[in-house]
Amino acid sequence: MQKKYLLEISVETVEAALAAERGGADRIELCADLPVGGVTPSVKLMRAARERLQIPIFTMIRPRPGDFLCSSAEFTSMKNTISTAKNLGMNGVVLGILDSNHGIDVDRTRELVELTQPLPATFHRAIDKSADLLQALENVIQTGAKRILTSGGAKNASEGAAMIAELVAVAGDRGTIVPGAGINASNIAQVVKVTGAREFHSGLSSALPYASRDFAKFEIEVRKLAEALSRLP
């Protein structure tokens, strides 16, 4: 039976990914360097994660931290990494490019999304840099990205919940809005209630520092979040 809600957990190690899987995560977002928002993981990490995990893995395609602008060399690197990720058995990618005005770079993002097919692409929280999120939503939909990860332009998903709800309503069946940032077991019920979303993203940094190597505790926090989500109507 299909679950009513889906939980994606972002990780930067195989050990954390396995802990998330044991804790009840439905999907992994695989990254390197999560404290800076996540960048492209190594080929070694992608391969090891795919060999050991049973659940789907979406890999980050982001060549560097900082802004979401993209040079020609970085754009080429992103295209090459997408091809590598597909060959390594990833189930989807997470990406996004902005222009110099913090708007969505529709043309180049669309080119990346088309290269990703038939795998789905998630447009990441670069959208939260946009001054007009509703216009940014329309632009992301034009790129063909199937999911949009967002905090509603706020510091976290709880603070941006009302805006996320509006994005969910406007997107309809044209794309899946995935609330993320600051989500944990203590606030997931409220985020679900306000946003009306069906997929949720968390790195659990509000419950456990990224630098922690306590994977047993990470598993516990993921399980608490997954169980809280499973109890919701």
- Model-level pTM? 0.94
The token pair that represents 210 in the structure block: 């990224």
pLDDT of residue 212: 67
Closest CA to 220 of 111, 60, 212: 212
Confidence of residue 171 (pLDDT cuts 50, 70, 90): very high
Give the Cα separation of 12 and 92 in Å (integer): 16
pLDDT of residue 213: 78
pLDDT of residue 1: 55
Strand pairing partners for 39?
Answer: 32
Closest CA to 28 of 65, 54, 56: 56
Torsion sign, CA atoms 59, 222, 23, 228: negative
The token pair that represents 222 in the structure block: 């993921």
Confidence of residue 118 (pLDDT cuts 50, 70, 90): very high
**Helix (H, G, I), strand (E, B), or coil: what is residue 187?**
coil
Choose which CATH entry (2.40.50.140, 3.40.50.300, 3.20.20.380, 3.40.50.10540) describes domain 6-119+182-230.
Answer: 3.20.20.380
pLDDT of residue 12: 95
Closest CA to 225 of 202, 208, 205: 202
Phi first, then psi: give them for residue 179, nearest 5 degrees: -65, 140
The ranges assigned to domains in the chain are: 6-119+182-230
pLDDT over threshold 70, residue 89: yes
pLDDT over threshold 90, residue 214: no
Give the Cα separation of 139 and 233 in Å (integer): 32
